[in-house]
Amino acid sequence: MTNSTLLSMAIPPGPVLEEVAARFALLADPTRLHLLGLVLERGECNVGELAEAAGISVANASQHLRRLAAGGILGRRRAGAHVRYRVADQTVEDICDIVCDSVRDRARVLGGAGLTAGASILGEEV
């Protein structure tokens, strides 16, 4: 990394730092990551579709999806009796790709240490 890259990555203290921390906290939950991965993969979906695909209850999926929407990661719209979710912040896919690639690389270096067999990130085998 160059010095200019390092400088551009600096996050000023205060409200911006707090918002960055909140964004990472939203993405720190495995269930939310799985739901986000499903929306990234499938496009706009309703809660029932996502709950079924994730193997969780509709109530649990709804709670996690509401948090992702409140954090600006997902957008939602009402379609009749259903609420449909879509990715609202397109940068989140790049962030997930960077982190997943890093975890895969680290797993290869460590020979899979720390990862269980069949472990997945955003629905992808590691």
Picking from 99, 106, 105, the residue whose alpha carbon sits closest to that of residue 122 is 99
Structure tokens at 24: 């990472």
The single residue listed with the structure tokens 């986000």 is: 36
Q: Model-level pTM?
A: 0.77
What is the pLDDT at residue 122?
52
103 Cβ neighbours under 8 A, 6+ residues apart: 121, 126
Give the span between the Cα atoms of 106 and 120, in whole angstroms.
14
Walk me through the domains of the chain, giving residue ranges and CATH numbers.
Answer: 13-125 (1.10.10.10)
Across the chain, which has 126 residues, the per-10-residue mean pLDDT values are 51 84 93 96 97 98 97 95 95 91 88 54 49
What is the pLDDT at residue 65?
98
What is the pLDDT at residue 123?
52
Q: Which helix (H) or strand (E) covers residue 95, if one does? A: helix 91-109
What is the pLDDT at residue 126?
44
